[in-house]
């Protein structure tokens, strides 16, 4: 983690901590100006590793060469205008620029500077030159700068976004590169009136986890999300929808260019036949509603040739009889799916509003794969492992 001198250095502390918590061995290299903002001991405490600040550090001779060669990834955050200019010129006048000049592996840079400095032709040329040499850039973002509000790029990207970008560079896989993946997630809402809705308690976590995992593997991912309070996945294009019909229109438009479609959403199956234009007044006694079926998105799907389609089946085996596999296999055949993911709606720790899930992965052939109770991100990885075999 190379840190150059800017007020955004404080974000680098969070980034170093998060990388370390994720299991990475993080070696921090500070420029002299960066050490004026954040002392080396701070990064040493966060990473548990010594910090390199100079070419002349005792007992660290040629450390910049070792750190150029050994790491899987070099991240420069913040990358100031001065640092980018020196790197573009190939200067090696301090420990960080010397390391970057000797670096042959991937470099991820997060520019951070005054918005006018970033817009300057010299900075733009430096970024272009470094990108042509293989550097990867994230940001800068818009938002408040040290000197005040700004509506132009200059603000360093957030640590969470850098973590996602780093994971993508480190974990991308050849079968997913260039692939277009569409994922649906969350519930839909069908209005009784402008205030009340028919919906379900889906949080969207499973679909969001699949979208994040596919992006990390190198795919270009579009997420079609019903109402959800989850933070949007970094690097993923997101379309917000409200009703099942909205979701159907979005999917029908996006699937035309998709290599993989994962229908992890839990759209409402029914909607009021005659929603009220105004709020229904509260009345004593009962209220009888006539419901009609919503569109079956998968049943009506016109998928392009070669597009793999993954559906989900939420069953209640104890109520419906059997273990749910037969019902899920019937849905797979009926809707012409490549895979269907069977959920048990009644099992503790699985299904809605929890961070874990227990599923069975069912393909058109082969034995169903029953997974133990896992974190939903781990479940997402196992689902994509199955899809990846079909992609190759």
Which residues, other chains included, contact 88 with Cβ-Cβ below 8 Å and sequence gap of 6+? 125, 126, 129, 130
The whole-angstrom separation of Cα 328 and Cα 343 is 9
Question: Annotated catalytic residue: which of 126, 200, 344, 357?
Answer: 200
C-beta separation of 239 from 222 below 8 A: yes
Matching residue, tokens 């679909």: 207
Which residues, other chains included, contact 91 with Cβ-Cβ below 8 Å and sequence gap of 6+? 97, 101
> Any bridge partners for residue 198, and if so which?
190
Helix (H) or strand (E) run with residue 330 in it: helix 325-334
User: Residues 175, 129, 101, 110: what is their CA dihedral angle, to the nearest 10 degrees?
Assistant: -70
Distances (CA, A) of 384 to 175, 216, 217, 236, 305: 11, 11, 9, 16, 20
Distances (CA, A) of 223 to 25, 42, 184, 212, 312: 32, 38, 6, 9, 16
Matching residue, tokens 């997402």: 380
The whole-angstrom separation of Cα 92 and Cα 96 is 8
The radius of gyration of the chain's CA atoms, rounded to the nearest angstrom, is 25
Has 200 been annotated as catalytic? yes
Matching residue, tokens 């070696």: 27
- Is beta strand 291-293 parallel, antiparallel or unpaired with respect to 270-272? antiparallel
C-beta separation of 259 from 306 below 8 A: yes
Helix (H) or strand (E) run with residue 389 in it: helix 376-391
Largest CA distance in the chain: 84
Catalytic residues: 200
């Amino acid at each position: 983690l190379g840190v150059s001198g800017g007020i955004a250095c404080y974000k680098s502390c969070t980034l170093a901590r998060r990388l370390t918590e994720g299991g990475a061995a993080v070696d921090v290299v500070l420029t002299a100006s960066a050490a004026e903002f954040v002392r080396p001991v701070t990064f040493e405490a966060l990473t548990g590793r010594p910090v390199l600040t100079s070419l002349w550090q005792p007992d660290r001779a040629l450390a910049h060469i070792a750190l150029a060669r050994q790491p899987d990834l070099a991240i420069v955050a913040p990358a100031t205008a001065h640092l980018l200019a020196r790197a573009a010129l190939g200067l090696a006048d301090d420990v960080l620029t010397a390391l970057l000049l000797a670096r042959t592996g991937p470099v991820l840079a997060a520019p951070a500077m005054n918005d006018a400095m970033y817009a300057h032709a010299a900075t733009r040329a430096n970024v272009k030159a470094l990108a042509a040499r293989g550097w990867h850039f994230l940001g800068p973002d818009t938002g408040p700068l040290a000197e005040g509000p700004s509506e132009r790029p200059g603000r360093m990207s957030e640590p969470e976004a850098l973590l996602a970008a780093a994971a993508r560079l480190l974990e991308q896989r050849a079968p997913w590169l260039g692939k277009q993946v569409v994922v649906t997630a969350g519930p839909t809402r069908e209005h009784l009136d402008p205030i009340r809705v028919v919906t379900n308690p889906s949080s969207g976590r499973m679909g969001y986890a699949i979208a994040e995992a596919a992006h990390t593997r190198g795919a270009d991912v579009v997420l079609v999300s019903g109402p959800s309070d989850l933070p949007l996945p970094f690097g993923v294009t997101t379309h917000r929808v409200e009703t099942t019909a909205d979701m159907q229109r979005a999917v029908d438009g996006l699937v035309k260019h998709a290599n993989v479609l994962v229908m992890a959403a839990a759209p409402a199956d029914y909607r009021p036949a005659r929603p009220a234009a105004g709020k229904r007044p509260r009345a004593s006694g009962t209220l009888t509603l006539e419901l009609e079926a919503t569109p079956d998105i998968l049943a009506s799907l016109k998928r392009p040739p070669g597009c793999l389609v993954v559906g989900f089946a939420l069953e209640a085996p104890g109520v419906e009889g059997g273990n749910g596999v037969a019902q899920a296999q019937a849905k797979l055949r009926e809707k012409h799916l490549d895979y269907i993911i069977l959920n048990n709606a009644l099992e503790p720790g699985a299904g809605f509003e929890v961070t874990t899930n227990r599923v069975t992965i069912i393909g058109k052939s082969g034995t169903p794969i029953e997974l133990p109770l896992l974190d939903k991100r781990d479940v997402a990885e196992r689902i994509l492992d199955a899809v990846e075999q079909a992609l190759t």
